[in-house]
Structure 1
Amino acid sequence: MSAARWPIVLAVVLTAILEVMDMTIVNVALPHIKAAFGLTSDQTVWIVTSYIVASVAVMPLTGFFVRRVGRRRLITSAILGFAGFSMLCGLSWSVGTLVLFRIGQGLCGAFLIPLSQSILFDAFPREKRGQAMAFFGLGVVVAPVFGPTLGALLTEYFSWRAVFYVNLPLAAFALMLIAGELEAEETRSLPVDWPGLALMLTAIGCLQMTLDLGETHDWFGSKLIQVTALSSAVAGVFFVARGWRKRDNIVDFSLLRDRSFAAANVAILGFGVSMFGAIAILPLFVQGLLDYPVLDAGYLFIPRGLAAGVSMVVTGAVLLKRIDARLLVVAGLGLTGLGNMLLSGLNLDAGFWDLGLPGVVTGFGMGLFFVPMSTLAFQNISSARQDEASGIYGVTRSIGSSIGVAILGWQVSERSQVHWALLGEELTATRQAVSQYLAPLGLTPTSPEGAAWLAQTLRAQSAMLAYQDAFLLAGLAAFAMIPAALVLQKPRPGAPAETAAA
């Protein structure tokens, strides 16, 4: 790649960082936003949900909009819109305006990841795509890992509004680079498949709402969740059945007939469940249960992020040239699963490095998985269809992340109740072990103080066991994707992508 193209590389990596970091950086600030506006838990959920629903719903349309308005115009408009709505989020004067501006953020940010990926593929020759994905991975995978750390620092030393303002200088720099380097493209007028568009938006939007709101609304015990789940299922079935062989469908399903691309979408879905699900519950675990200060909870992600960054660079620059990419993917899934398994073995006395070292293992796994997987996924996709394929791949990753957050959050809540009931059966005033446990504290099971201490201990132990179950599930999700990785086609360095998947 010529030196003149490096500004584009830096620009698209920055745009990727903008989008994915915003998903995790805001989570740390939610308690402060909740206090500032006097929100309930349900209202707080919408601050996160509104962004994700808007982003996931329009991400598959990336290829369609590129053909209509051009890649340069779309990405510059998306960056400008994202920056503008970020500023408005920081200026929000009520929860209603904040949710509205978060929707705007999501709509604009949806195009940043797919466009960044396809631009990088064009900027690098085929034999250097591993390097391209290493750079891209630094934005897509490392940024959300460091997001909680940066969010904690900004919230602690400035204000929750700063987590939105931090996007502005990054967006300005990326826009300056792209405006000077990215060439304009020819566009063409395309008819809009309005029925297909409506079905797709309904299916994805309702699925995302089901996942994001399920835990707070008692899942299928809620009429709202029943309606959103049924609407998603019905719209999804009609969308796929109607568009599977339709040449002008709003999303090109023929891309999924490629074995490597289809298998990669399955693998990235499960990887999203494992990685992002664990990242989502880890701050809750260390802050809510282990009583870590917000800054210490943020620092906990630094070893994981550094390991992921090193792993991606080494994988893209060295390992992909010497080892079958499929074996690297399997190793990455194995290390990601192992890291989560190690977290499942912790207890209430876990120290910083008891938590940090499993993160290092997972971080190395993230780099080993992401770089070769992205290369294998697009090995048969022509340049003309990369934007479309990147949109599909991006929304699959996002849905996997949402499934992971929803399932692991539900696991913690549900299993806490199960363990409470099981442990509670053992904590009776007549059991000798209970009296022996309280004796060194100068308490008895029948005293009010003793009963309160037992209740507090019971809550903590029940929650600890629930988190162990959740991290175990995250580990199993990574291991379960290994068969999908083995389905991938063997990489063919000499095969021209332009002749494949046509």
Structure 2
Amino acid sequence: MTTAATSHVNPVIVIAVVLSAILEVLDSTIVNVALPHIQAAFGATTDQATWILTSYIVSAVVVMPLTGFVARRIGRRRLILTAVTGFAAMSVMCGLSWSLETIVAFRLAQGMFGAFLIPLSQSILFDSFPREKRGQAMGIFGLGVVVAPVLGPTVGALLTEYFSWRMVFFVNLPVAAMALLLLAGELPDDETEDVKIDWKGLAMLAVGIGCLQFVLDQGETKDWLSSRVIQMTVIASVLGALGFVIHALTSKNSVVDLRLFADRNFALCNLIIAGFAISLFGGIAILPTFVQSLLNYPVIDSGLLFIPRGLTAGLSMVATGAVLVTRFDPRMLAGIGLLLTAIGNFMLGALNLNAGFWQLAWPGAVSGLGMGLVFVPMSILAFESISKTRQDEASGLFNVTRQLGSSVGISIVGTWVVRGLQTNTAALSQNVTPYNPAAQAYLQPLGLTPDSAEGAAILGQEISRQAEMISYLTVFNNLGVMALATIPLLFFCRAQKPGTQAAVQAH
């Protein structure tokens, strides 16, 4: 189905697939900043508005593992052209939406089209570059996949503040048009296969992954297992996942080949990239809320905080892909990257309520350096032994794992913040009484006492602020520990020595 990579790399195809990747990943974070404005425009509650995000993510996660199957059936070229066109069309419809119901429906369809873009872009890049230059391919790919979502909040903040929330959808059009034009002109036709549709496996996969993503997105809002809806969804997810695994391992025509995980590197790299995504995207998800709600940063400044992270991430991607992976053991590079990710989180976990802009931005810059050092080596190690005919399918699974890791990170940090706030408020309140000298000293400059109504109100507000701050700091430190805990898995990965013939020979 695919042609062997030659020493000549077509730069047009490289640009086209990176633009295709940027379409999907940018849209996954750019909408977050505009969500309050969309909520106000449609008079929706917070719970209802979250469906604008949930619908997109659920549909994308369900469809993404099917990339290899659909690419074999209709062809890689036709699939990516259809995906870019459909994504652009749904972006327009999202921007023109007239109600909450319509934007959720269009986001659902947008996620289905967008699901194919990342895996296809990655596998096309792999085929476009000779094996010894895969580091460069993944460095370029990482610029789109990892740097774009980091800068998404900045772009979303600027568009929402100076134009309209609808622009966060319309901004996709020029990117999609350029990608479509380049792909149509340069991407060659490929062969198709008469693959039988595994409807039974497809249904179980959709239930298993879709319900899991729903639980991760809505669990905190609905108080997890206290909700009957979450209970039933968890049961459905477990049954769907178990049924699919059994079916996939016993069927010759499974819609997704789980035997790919028999490859040790592929299985381990999936675990590592999931842990990395939890640590990285969990922190990225709560940083805007942290600085806006607690430190009173305006939305523009909260978006600008991500620029240093994006710049260092871009530098790291290019340097790692072009130079470092050819000279150093990729496992060592990934270990350093995970360490930098942990350090960035620990730096955020050491802040106080008086933190300035650069105190908040520098930790992101440190984590940004770690992004390229993790993503590029992990992508190379994961596909080290995967044949060309299975790259589309493997890429789909690898990116589903990354997406689920991101969802788990976002979900658990939300839970940690809320529950930490409750615990910390109760603990701090026990020590603040009208007879506490510290409380009396705090109110004395204001001419108030702890037993007065106004004094008690001020103390209550300060307790709430301190409790929330402690909660956020605990979350950042937990995410740092998560990154560190992933490092030992690297020792079990196999890697060829840089520069050896075995490391660069083609399949």
TM-score (norm. length: structure 2): 0.97
- Note the 1:69-468 alignment, pairs <5 A: 69-468=74-473
Q: 2: distance between equivalents of 1:116 and 1:497? A: 22
Please tell me whether residue 21 in structure 1 is matched to residue 59 in structure 2.
Answer: no
* 8 Å contact kept, 1:383–1:498: no
Q: Summarize deviations over 1:221-273 as a string: whole Å, max 9, x none.
A: 00111111111111111211221243311111111111100000000111111
* Cα distance between partner residues in 2 of 1:183 and 1:494: 30
Quick check: 2:42–2:99 contact (8 Å CA) kept in 1?
yes
CA displacement, residues 318-374 of structure 1 (integer Å, 9 cap, x when unaligned): 111111111001111110011011111111111001111101110001111111110
Query: What is the CA-CA distance between 1:494 and the residue it aligns to?
Result: 3.6
Deviation at 1:499, TM superposition (A): 8.6
Structure 1 CA distance for aligned equivalents of residues 202 and 502 of structure 2: 34
CA distance in 2, matches of 1:266, 1:31: 34
Residue 133 of structure 1 contacts residue 371 of structure 1 at CA under 8 Å; is this kept in 2? Answer: yes
Shift of 1:495: 4.1
Answer yes or no: is the 8 Å Cα contact 2:9–2:129 preserved in 1.
Answer: no
- Cα distance in 2 for residues equivalent to 1:297 and 1:494: 48
Q: For residues 249 and 100 of structure 2, what CA distance do their matches in structure 1 show?
A: 41
SS at match of 1:481: helix
* d(CA) in 2 for partners of 1:21, 1:238: 34
For residues 347 and 169 of structure 1, what CA distance do their matches in structure 2 show? Answer: 42
Distance 2:496 2:232 in 1: 44
Partners of 1:400 and 1:414 lie apart in 2 by 21
Measure the CA separation in 1 of the matches of 2:395 and 2:157: 31
Q: Distance in 2 between matches of 1:30 and 1:476?
A: 30
**Partner amino acid, structure 2, of 1:446:** D
Distance 1:61 1:399 in 2: 15
1:473 counterpart = 2:478: yes
- Matched-pair contact (CA < 8 Å) for 1:133–1:316: yes
1:491: how far off?
A: 2.7
* Aligned counterpart, 2:3: none
Is the 1:381–1:498 Cα contact (8 Å) retained in structure 2? no
Relative distance call for 1:321 and 1:4 in structure 2 (3 A) is closer
Among residues 49, 55, 58, which one is paired with 2:60 in the alignment?
Answer: 55
Q: Is the 8 A contact 2:130 2:506 kept in 1?
A: no
Amino acid at match of 1:413: V
- Greater mean deviation of Cα atoms: 467-476 or 198-207: 467-476
CA contact (8 A) 1:382 1:497 kept: no
Structure 2 SS opposite 1:340 = helix
1:2 offset after TM fit, Å? 6.4
User: 1:112-148 deviations in whole A, cap 9, x for unaligned?
Assistant: 0000000000000000000000000000100000000
Counterpart selection for 1:67 from 61, 69, 72:
72
Q: How far did 1:497 drift?
A: 9.4
Q: Which moved more, 1:110-119 or 1:182-191?
A: 182-191
State the 1:84 CA deviation: 0.2
Q: Which runs of 5+ in 1 are unaligned?
A: none
Distance in 2, Cα, partners of 1:235 & 1:494: 44
**Bigger shift: 175-184 or 425-434?**
425-434
The AA in structure 2 aligned to 1:346 is: L
| Residue identity (%) | 58
User: Which runs of 5 or more structure 2 residues have no equivalent in the other structure?
Assistant: 1-5
Distance 2:116 2:504 in 1: 23
Q: Per-residue displacement from partner, 1:421-476 (whole Å, max 9, x unpaired)?
A: 00010111121221011112222111222111111101111110110111111111
Q: SS of 2:10's equivalent? A: helix
Deviates more, 1:232-241 or 1:79-88: 232-241
Q: Aligned-pair RMSD on alpha carbons?
A: 1.4
Determine the C-alpha separation between the residues in 1 that align with 2:269 and 2:409. Answer: 17
Distance 2:234 2:457 in 1: 41
Q: How does 1:39-54 map to 2 (within 5 A)?
A: 39-54=44-59
Shift of 1:487: 1.5
Equivalent-residue separation in structure 2 for 1:496 and 1:337 (angstroms): 30
